[in-house]
Amino acid sequence: MENPFEKRATEHLRDDVAFLAVVTPEPVSRFLKPAAEAGYLYDRLVVISGSPGSGKTTLGRLFEYPSLNTLVRLSDNSEFRDLNVSMTGCRAIQGSIPKLLGCRLQLESDYRNFWECPYPEKLKTGMMTSLLQARALLSWLRNLTLAGISLDRVTIVPRKESEAVVDAIGGVQAAEIQSRAREVEAALYGVVGALVPPPIDQIEDDATSAYQPFDVIEAFLIQRESSTPLELRPLVIFDDAHELHRDQYQLLTRWLARRELRISRWMLTRFDVLTPTEALDVASSEPIEQKTYAGITAGRDLVYIVLQSSGASRASQRRSFRKMAKDMANRYLRRMPFFSELGLTNLSSILGSELAPASNSTLKKMKESADKTQDRLKIKRERRGTLETSVDEYLKGVADRRGLTPEFTDVKYAMLNILMHRYAKRTKGPTLFGDDDPDPSRPLKVDASVFDSACLHLLHSVNRPYYFGIDRLCDAGSENAELFLHLTGTLVERSATQVIQGKNAVLSPATQNHLLRERASDIIERWNFPSYMEVRRLLHEIGTLCRDISMEPNAWLAPNAYGVSQEEFESIASSHPRLAFVLQFAVAYNAIHLNPNHSCKGQRWCVIELGGTPSLRYGLTLNRGGFVEGGLAQLTRFLEGAE
């Protein structure tokens, strides 16, 4: 049985209808719609960056003309209505008409090969940009042809001040423009595709002559028989820009950021191509205000859109990802006839949430532990009874809110243990007046943090399931579509196996917990990106430290992050360059997230939060906020740690 969760499904779907059927509109609304409403999504260079699998290519393909044209044709289909609304909100569609002529070019080895040629930098850059422009033009015209539009009905609208150079691109008629673009592409490919680059004096004139269609074209005009001409704004999307040499990437960025360009242009990239300082700034800033390159100002000349959480709105971003992930999973599940025939088209329906009652031996162990804690800490029976009553009331509320009737006895004893240790911490024994049951210095609260800490303690002490249910699965995905799909894929595979074996399709919490932790460890072991060994060592040290603190008897903190003072972190590139380099790739490959300028205890912190896979591996909470305080020197020592 083919499992679409186990591969980049959108990249394997050649048919536009099938592609659109699995695309969820949430990322469009979340990341691109605000930029469109602010007026800068199409009028300046937009750099969309994120870790592998964050959805960059899916977004790029969605804005290509064939996808837009197909979406318009399906506008009356309820399955595509939400996506249509989102694309309309991004001003890519207006009514029943596409407004953009989008194309996507992948910046693979052809373009990097220019950098290896023994030519002056200016010549190499000029040839690369000419090839990009020629291929963009050919792609735009090819997309129109595939949509059934004859090129004799297509002309360009040139910029008013560019009439004198229109002839250099072939004029205004599409057929002549296409012919000229083919000539330029062939000449340039003869240079970059040669086994040995030809001497400069042997390069064809078409490869070095003035050819700047991006400076000329303002729009494409399509003549229609029964209505006014359709004007489309050209959009070129440069995918995989990180494949370029770093210097080449910066030169391309500077060239695309020129204000006189009228075409819309996006670059899709990972953080790899940036310097450590730039990568960490992009990953942790919202919005980015500093100058990135000489003569180019972020915000005015180019805009960064980062496909992951950052800044103060991370809670709402997590809720948004949950919504997107659930919709995406259900769309993928509907593509599997095996489940559709059983009426299982909602991922939540195969993720069981009712825990099996704890075994008698476990309950005996937990009760004995609570009794020993009471004796050791000399806690009076009446005080323990008060704490037990508070725990019972809380657990009843949890069960009522969830509409469940689970056995929480094991959790009750774990919570009671935590509360007795907290009580002991907040008292200093009998008072001067003989009170041998003093009140704590601060009231003891029985809340979700105590419940969650108790569940974590039980995960590590008696292997009670902790990672189960749709919300925790989404949170473990670290707001990365591909990671979420990979984690989900192993659950879907096991559910299908159970059905084949004649069992219920629903996965028990214990099965979910085991599979997710096993898959997370497998993903980490398969990492092979730059500095992955150092990233693993860093995560091991932070993860182990967070786990040890989480398991302290009073559960005073359940961290999954490491905090460095913001002031110290801002100097990381100069004070700890190797650490900055390692963190760059940890961010780029979704192993950590940065939360800068986090206020705590009257200080500003940059919080280095572990991603979903290391949190699963080391048995940490998926809740945000708790972090271990430290410094860059200790993190540098962590790099030398042993797994």
67-95 per-position pLDDT tens digit: 999 999 998 898 899 999 999 999 999 98
pLDDT of residue 287: 40
Specify the pLDDT at position 313.
66
Rounded CA gap, 151 and 242, in Å? Answer: 34
State the pairing for strand pair 603-610/592-600.
Answer: antiparallel
| pLDDT at residue 224 is higher than 80 | yes
**Distance between CA atoms of residues 479 and 590, nearest Å:** 9
Per-residue confidence at 439, pLDDT binned at 50, 70, 90?
A: confident
Distance CA 18, CA 311 (A): 35
First to last CA, the chain: 37
Q: Tell me the Ramachandran region of residue 282: left when phi exceeds 0, alpha when psi lies from -120 to 50, beta otherwise.
A: alpha
- The rounded distance, in Å, linking the Cα atoms of 552 and 564 is 22
Matching residue, tokens 């030519």: 119
The answer to whether residue 11 scores a pLDDT higher than 90 is no
Distance separating alpha carbons of residues 248 and 235, to the nearest angstrom? 21
Q: Of residues 312 and 135, which shows the higher confidence score?
A: 135
Which among 95, 87, 127 is positioned nearest to 110, based on CA atoms? 127
pLDDT at residue 602 is higher than 60: yes
The closest alpha carbon to 110, from 49, 190, 201, belongs to 190
pLDDT at position 1: 59
DSSP collapsed to 3 states, 242-282:
HHCCHHHHHHHHHHHCCCCCCCEEEEEECHHHCCHHHHHHH
Q: How many residues does the chain have?
A: 643
Q: What is the mean pLDDT of residues 504-510?
A: 95
| Helical residues (DSSP H) of 147-196, grouped into ranges | 174-192
Q: Any idea which of 272-281, 292-301, 454-463, 515-524 has the lowest mean pLDDT?
A: 292-301
What pLDDT score does 289 carry? 39
User: Above 50 in pLDDT, residue 161?
Assistant: yes
As given in the structure block, the two tokens for residue 67 are: 């996808």
Rounded Cα–Cα distance for residues 449 and 554 (Å): 12
Residue position matching structure tokens 């997107």: 324
CA distance 477 to 467: 12
Across the range 549-573, mean pLDDT stands at 94
How many of the other CB atoms lie within 10 Å of CB of 145? 14
Residue 294 has pLDDT above 60, yes or no: no
pLDDT in tens, 88-139: 999 999 988 999 999 999 997 678 888 888 889 989 899 999 999 999 999 9
Alpha-carbon span 329 to 345, nearest angstrom: 9
Higher pLDDT among residues 12 and 246, named by residue: 246
pLDDT of 433 above 60: no
For 151-166, b/e burial (b = at least 16 CB within 10 A) is beebbbbbbeebeebb
Where helices occur in 285-380 by DSSP H, the ranges are 314-334, 337-340, 360-377
Quote the pTM value. 0.84
39-67 pLDDT tens trace: 889 999 999 988 888 889 999 999 999 99
- Which pairs count as long-range contacts for 281-288, CB under 8 Å and 24+ apart, including other chains? 282/49, 282/306, 283/308, 283/310, 283/587, 283/593, 283/594, 284/310, 284/594, 284/595, 284/596, 284/606, 285/310, 285/311, 285/596, 286/310, 286/311, 286/312
Structure confidence at residue 70 (pLDDT): 94
Averaged pLDDT for residues 383-393: 94
Q: Rounded mean pLDDT of the chain? A: 88
